[in-house]
């Protein structure tokens, strides 16, 4: 019955940050050959698609998000042959591969930028956004970089400023120039022709900026202690008119191949996020939905956002949910270890495509990184805000086993980021055979999700429980078992009467991994910080 759904709807996406997954050559940095040694593991956790953060040649000022060549492999990560091998091995195991496309900006070492900056009349000059200084010699307008400081850097060679909303080494391409977008589409074709299953498009909502480069207004309320960047309303650099034309074109290209996916990174308020599905569902298949990351971790707040998101979805649009990525503090740290399983049960039982960030399946937490070991530009540029804006914490090496360096790299090598201190107890090997571990819990959830149509494609409906701590909902599909999910976001136990939803039910999966058996739904007991995934056995009669 799930035949009419695409793999990116029924499946689970798993994000790998290649620098941090598995090193195979002892340089302390993860690589493609390393990932290729972990495919059986990926298969064993029941994920369907791997998204790799950028693997292209890059001077690594932003760890690969500064691309110096879109159609080659960074020697740090391996060779094109390693890539082809990895792709073939993934496909052989029925796993998809999604690449990260970074079209908004290039590295300042990209050949296009080297030409562009070489002279004002170079044919590629206007492939980037150059402007004369303001009358006082300063930047052309008040735009700021996400990473701190102005979004403009003066270039001595030609006496103009260039735009970069991230690091100074990430000049922004000018998508108003007629030759730039075709060049990006060509780069996409290169990988699609190789058989790559789709792209996650980096900062897709930033690709067009105000043509007149107007100053951005300050928000009315100043919030003490927040970075200057967040005090402006970014109306001229984000979600600017024209962006949807570009995305529709990318989607047309994607759809000219069979069975590929277009995912967009979009941080916008929910209603505007919805526009990125496209008016006729002709833009992103998956406009990434970060609501669970940005929401307070409170049952009613989360219920409200899920219901609002469901209600806001355009006709025919498919939902998706994310708990973490390489830009956000890890979910286990954000919500706390006690709630981590509840969060993952939520992710894997909501309606829509879930994305798991590597390590979430073993409950990895943010690493402790001393200031002098931080690499991430926003933290390095703004040391006083390093903890808020730095992203090294969530990028520490994958914890495979209890040997020095956690099996990520050779024991005597210094990994590019320190391994988190808890690796000795929190690692794949230790959790693999422990039926009560987070990993076993994750596998049980992904296994059941795949087996049960109600969970991977069924309807969602919230249940009113009148308990502040509880978020409960039903997932059901025709001719399939119905599931009831009850999540306790608080530390106190509760008793619920859910007999109007199901008279009887059995525990399919519980966060504590020991509860099982038949449940009396008129007095369902749930412990503090517990999540229950129940299989309804007897539904109330429908008179
Ligand atoms: C995206 C990436 C982030 C990167 C930025 C600039 O937000 O996820 O890691 O720094 O774009 O490319």
Per-residue model confidence as pLDDT tens digits over 293-342: 999 999 999 999 999 999 999 999 999 999 999 999 999 999 999 999 99
Q: Is residue 467 part of a domain?
A: yes
Could you tell me the residue range of the domain that residue 325 belongs to? 295-352+459-543
Output the average pLDDT for the chain. Answer: 96
Tell whether 303 is covered by a domain. Answer: yes
pLDDT in the model for residue 543: 46
What CATH code is carried by the domain that includes residue 303?
2.60.40.1180
In a domain, 97, yes or no: no
Domain count for the chain? 2
What pLDDT shows up at residue 2? 55
20, 52, 63, 65: residue to mutate for ligand 1 pocket, most atoms within 8 A of CB: 65
Cα of 363 vs its chain's centroid, Å: 16
Is 242's pLDDT higher than 80? yes
**Same domain, residue pair 327 and 467:** yes
Nearest to 278 by CA among 316, 226, 331, 323: 316
Q: Is residue 86 part of a domain?
A: no
To the query of whether residue 202 is one of the catalytic residues in this protein, the response is yes
Residue 418 forms part of a structural domain: no
User: Ligand 1 centre and the CA of 366: distance in Å?
Assistant: 18
pLDDT band at 222 (very low <50, low <70, confident <90, very high): confident
Decide if 280 is inside a domain: no
Question: How far does the centroid of ligand 1 lie from the alpha carbon of residue 436, in Å?
Answer: 36
Q: Which of 151, 203, 288 to mutate to test the pocket of ligand 1 (most atoms within 8 A of CB)?
A: 203
- Nearest atom, ligand 1, residue 165 CA: 6
Could you tell me whether strands 483-488 and 518-520 are parallel, antiparallel, or unpaired per DSSP bridges? unpaired
Cα-Cα end-to-end distance for the chain: 28
Among protein residues, the one whose CA lies closest to atom 2 of ligand 1: 202
142 part of a folded domain: yes
Q: 183 in a domain, yes or no? A: no
CATH number for position 136: 3.90.400.10
> At which of 163, 178, 206 does a domain end?
163
The reported pLDDT for the residue numbered 1 is 45
Residue 3: per-residue pLDDT: 65
* All residues at 6 or more sequence positions from 158 whose CB lies less than 8 Å from its CB, including other chains: 117, 119, 120, 130
Q: Are residues 159 and 301 in the same domain?
A: no
Which of 128, 147, 163 terminates a domain? The answer is: 163
Q: What is the pLDDT of residues 134-177, one digit of tens each?
A: 999 999 999 999 999 999 999 999 999 999 999 999 999 999 99
φ, ψ for residue 355, nearest 5 deg: -120, 130
Residues in contact with ligand 1 (CB, 6 Å cut-off): 62, 65, 102, 166, 202-203, 265, 326-327
Statement: residue 428 has pLDDT above 70: yes
pLDDT at 513: 73
Q: What was the pLDDT predicted at 517? A: 79
Q: For residue 509, report the distance from its CA to the centre of ligand 1, in Å.
A: 36
């Amino acid at each position: 019955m799930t035949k009419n759904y695409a793999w990116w709807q029924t499946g689970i996406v798993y994000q790998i940050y290649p620098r941090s997954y598995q090193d195979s050559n002892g340089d302390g940095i993860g690589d493609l050959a390393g990932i290729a040694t972990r495919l059986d593991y990926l298969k064993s956790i029941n994920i369907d698609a791997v998204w790799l953060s950028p693997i292209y040649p890059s001077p690594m000022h932003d760890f690969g998000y500064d691309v110096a060549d879109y159609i080659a492999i960074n020697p740090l990560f391996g060779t094109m042959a390693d890539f082809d091998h990895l792709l073939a091995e993934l496909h052989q195991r029925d796993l998809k591969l999604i690449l990260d496309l970074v079209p908004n900006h290039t590295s300042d070492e990209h050949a296009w930028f080297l030409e562009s900056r070489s002279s004002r009349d170079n044919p590629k000059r206007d492939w980037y956004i150059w402007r004369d200084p303001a009358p006082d010699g300063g930047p052309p307008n008040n735009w700021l970089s996400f990473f701190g400081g102005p979004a403009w850097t003066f270039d001595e060679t030609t006496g103009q400023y260039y735009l970069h909303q991230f690091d100074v080494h990430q000049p922004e391409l000018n998508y108003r120039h007629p030759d730039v977008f075709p060049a990006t589409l060509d780069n996409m074709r290169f990988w699609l022709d190789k058989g790559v299953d789709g792209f996650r498009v980096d900062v897709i909502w930033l690709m067009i900026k105000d043509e007149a480069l107007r100053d951005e207004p300050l928000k009315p309320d100043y919030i003490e202690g927040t970075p200057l960047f967040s005090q402006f309303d970014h109306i001229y650099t984000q979600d600017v008119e024209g962006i949807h034309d570009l995305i529709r074109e990318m989607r047309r290209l994607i759809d000219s191949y069979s069975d590929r996916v277009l995912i967009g990174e979009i941080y916008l308020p929910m209603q505007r996020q919805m526009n990125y599905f496209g008016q006729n569902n002709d833009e992103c298949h998956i406009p990434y939905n970060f609501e669970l990351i940005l929401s307070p971790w409170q049952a009613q707040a989360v219920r409200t956002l899920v219901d609002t998101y469901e209600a806001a979805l355009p006709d025919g649009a498919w939902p998706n949910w994310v708990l973490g990525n390489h830009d956000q503090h890890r979910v286990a740290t954000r919500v706390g270890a006690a709630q981590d399983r509840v969060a993952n049960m939520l992710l894997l039982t909501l309606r829509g495509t879930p994305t798991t960030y590597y390590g979430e399946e073993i409950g990895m937490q943010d690493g402790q990184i001393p200031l002098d070991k931080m690499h991430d530009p926003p933290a390095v540029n703004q040391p006083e805000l390093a903890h808020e804006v730095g992203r090294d914490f969530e990028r520490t090496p994958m914890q495979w086993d209890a040997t020095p360096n956690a099996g990520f790299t050779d024991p005597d090598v210094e990994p590019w980021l320190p391994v988190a201190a808890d690796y000795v107890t929190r690692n794949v090997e230790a959790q693999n055979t422990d039926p009560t571990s987070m990993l076993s819990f994750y596998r049980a959830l992904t296994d059941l999700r795949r087996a049960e149509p109600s969970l991977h494609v069924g309807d969602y409906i919230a249940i009113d429980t009148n308990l502040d701590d509880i978020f409960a909902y039903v997932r059901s599909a025709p001719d399939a078992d119905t599931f009831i999910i009850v999540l306790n976001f608080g530390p106190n136990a509760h008793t619920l009467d859910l007999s109007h939803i199901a008279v009887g039910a059995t525990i399919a999966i519980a966060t504590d991994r020991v509860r099982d058996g038949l449940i009396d739904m008129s007095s369902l007991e749930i412990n503090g910080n517990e999540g229950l995934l129940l299989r309804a056995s007897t539904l109330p009669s429908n008179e």
